Structure 1
Amino acid sequence: MLRSPKDPLSFDSREKIALFIDGANLYGTAKTLGFDIDYRRLLEEFKSRGYLLRAYYYTALVEDQEYSSIRPLIDWLDYNGYKVVTKPVKEFVDQTGRRKVKGNMDIELAVDAMEAVEHVDHFVLFSGDGDFRSLVEAIQRRGRKVSVVSTLTTQPPMIADDLRRQADHFIELAHLESRIGRDPGERAARAAERQDRFARDADPEDI
């Protein structure tokens, strides 16, 4: 259970911990709350709470897309302590003419979690997707603990009520901002650097 906004994490230091991050869901939740995740700080935060066995990050990538805005993040995660799991998905246009992406990473996440159940004491799921309720229940039947990280502070809440009820612990993402959020000044500095680099590389006749 949450102790307070000042101490949002409650772990037994002897526990073996694994993080399972639904990338698209966590990104959307943090964006709604108005901050960016600093994945280096996130990893360090949970390393300080127990023995962190593994941190999985799941995301889908659009097929035949030469450049994806998420690619730099994926590459960084892959080299900095995360196990990145991706799969290709295809874009399509629905009947209303809106572009959509079909596919999610639920099955991949569930399979990895069940394979790890003999080695992990405490699973931390970063997602509010109600489809994971059955997975959480299955892990609990094997005698393991599950915490779910999402938010209730938005309208509507980003976490499904049945998932929150099923979890052993609910961790409010908004209460973690000071611990795992990226410094807003860092984002501004990177944006300025990119703009400066673009200006230097641009054709003088195009400026």
Structure 2
Amino acid sequence: MKDNNFELKLNGKTCVMVDWANVYGWSHNLKKEVDEEKLYKYLKKYKQIEKINCYFGEDKIKIKSKEFLNKVEKIGYNLITKDVKFIKIFDDVGKNFILKRKCDFDLEIGLDTMELVDKYDIFMFFSGDGDFRTLYDRLVLKGKFVIVVYMYGCLGREIWEMKKGIFKTSVVKLSDNIYKKMTSAVRPRRD
């Protein structure tokens, strides 16, 4: 694989917030997974990036969840985690309950960002979530620059419509060297 030779222009101290559930969710559209270690190494090549937070929930039932969290921490990310909740919802027929995994970090990402606002010039978010519009607006009002890394088809309209103080780029433009092979768990199904 060769690199896309795309370079981010970082003109100041930078903090990165990675919502790993979002990044992992991009694998369906990407047809490959972002590799947590390769992504970290890619980001660390920028000397302006001083902090990289990774947000991901721990599923106490699955041992692979704890293994992943240990790996992410060992790589060097500042790991922020909490327990995954399981919410009962009805199936499509409306007769049976199924358990849906839920572990949203929007609040934690927003609070952490505002706690760090005076320490960094640039905030980079790996999430296309439209719920962050208010956070981004406040950062821009405080004179901060916002970078949003997203996957095509996974960027909220609210973010797409922002024009000032923000740079939006698809993850596919960053580097060809941040991916791992697809696992069977995320490969498109063949019917």
Provide the TM-score with structure 2 as the length reference.
0.81
Q: CA separation of 1:7/1:168 partners in 2, compared to 1, >3 Å: closer, same or farther? A: farther
Deviations 1:52-87 (A, max 9, x none): 21111111234xx34343322210111221011111
Larger helix fraction of residues: 1
What are the equivalent positions in structure 2 for 1:1-207 lying under 5 Å apart? 6-12=4-10, 14-62=11-59, 65-96=60-91, 97-152=97-152, 157-166=153-162, 168-182=166-180, 184=181
Structure of larger gyration radius: 1
Q: CA separation of 1:10/1:88 partners in 2, compared to 1, >3 Å: closer, same or farther? A: same
Identity among equivalent positions (%) equals: 24
| Count of aligned pairs | 175
Separation in structure 2 between the aligned mates of residue 170 and residue 164 of structure 1, nearest angstrom? 8
Q: CA deviation at 1:126?
A: 0.3
Deviations 1:131-159 (A, max 9, x none): 1111111111111111101122xxxx111
Q: Contact 1:57–1:83 at 8 Å: present in 2 too?
A: yes
Amino acid at match of 1:83: N
Q: CA deviation at 1:177?
A: 4.9
Query: Which structure 1 residue ranges, 4+ long, deviate > 4 Å from structure 2?
Result: none
Separation in structure 2 between the aligned mates of residue 165 and residue 20 of structure 1, nearest angstrom? 21
Separation in structure 1 between the aligned mates of residue 63 and residue 128 of structure 2, nearest angstrom? 24
Structure 1: 5+ residue runs without aligned partners? 189-207
Amino acid at match of 2:89: D
Structure 2: 5+ residue runs without aligned partners? 92-96, 185-191
Q: CA separation of 1:142/1:122 partners in 2, compared to 1, >3 Å: closer, same or farther? A: same
Q: Contact 1:148–1:164 at 8 Å: present in 2 too?
A: no
Q: CA deviation at 1:115?
A: 0.8
